[in-house]
Amino acid sequence: MEFQKDNTFVKGRLKSVTYAFKGAVKLISTEHSVMVQFSLGIILTIAGFYFHISHEEWLFQIFAIGLVLSVEGLNTAVEKVADFIHPSYHEKIGFIKDIAAGAVFFAAMTAIAIGLIIYIPKFV
């Protein structure tokens, strides 16, 4: 049987959302670094309610959490593809993985800066 693309807009979007949700669940349930980042996101969300952060602070916090989780997901995808293409160590694959990890580093540093700007004044 030949693959047939779903021609209805709504069904196609619902399938896309379903695949995206499955991917997010796989990412959160299988990748330890994402588990840590997701847990920190939950803790910071609870802290946001506890400290009654402003609407603007919520925007930055939600952006920071989403940024880190998104870049971490892309890093994981790059690593999985690289391992699939070249399972044994290769210098160029290592270079590619390092660059992807560097992107996570920048996202995490940005999120830490945002978190410090939001929460340090709450303790001073």
Considering the domain boundaries, does residue 2 fall inside one? Answer: no
pLDDT digits (tens, 9 = 90+) for 33-60: 999 999 999 999 999 999 999 999 999 9
Considering the domain boundaries, does residue 3 fall inside one? Answer: no
Neighbouring C-beta atoms of residue 73, cutoff 10 Å: 19
Considering the domain boundaries, does residue 65 fall inside one? Answer: yes
106 Cβ neighbours under 8 A, 6+ residues apart? 71
pLDDT of residue 11: 87
CA angle 28, 29, 30 (to 5 degrees): 100
Find the domain containing 76 and state its range.
Answer: 9-123
- Statement: residue 61 has pLDDT above 90: yes
State the CATH number of the domain containing residue 30.
Answer: 1.10.287.3610
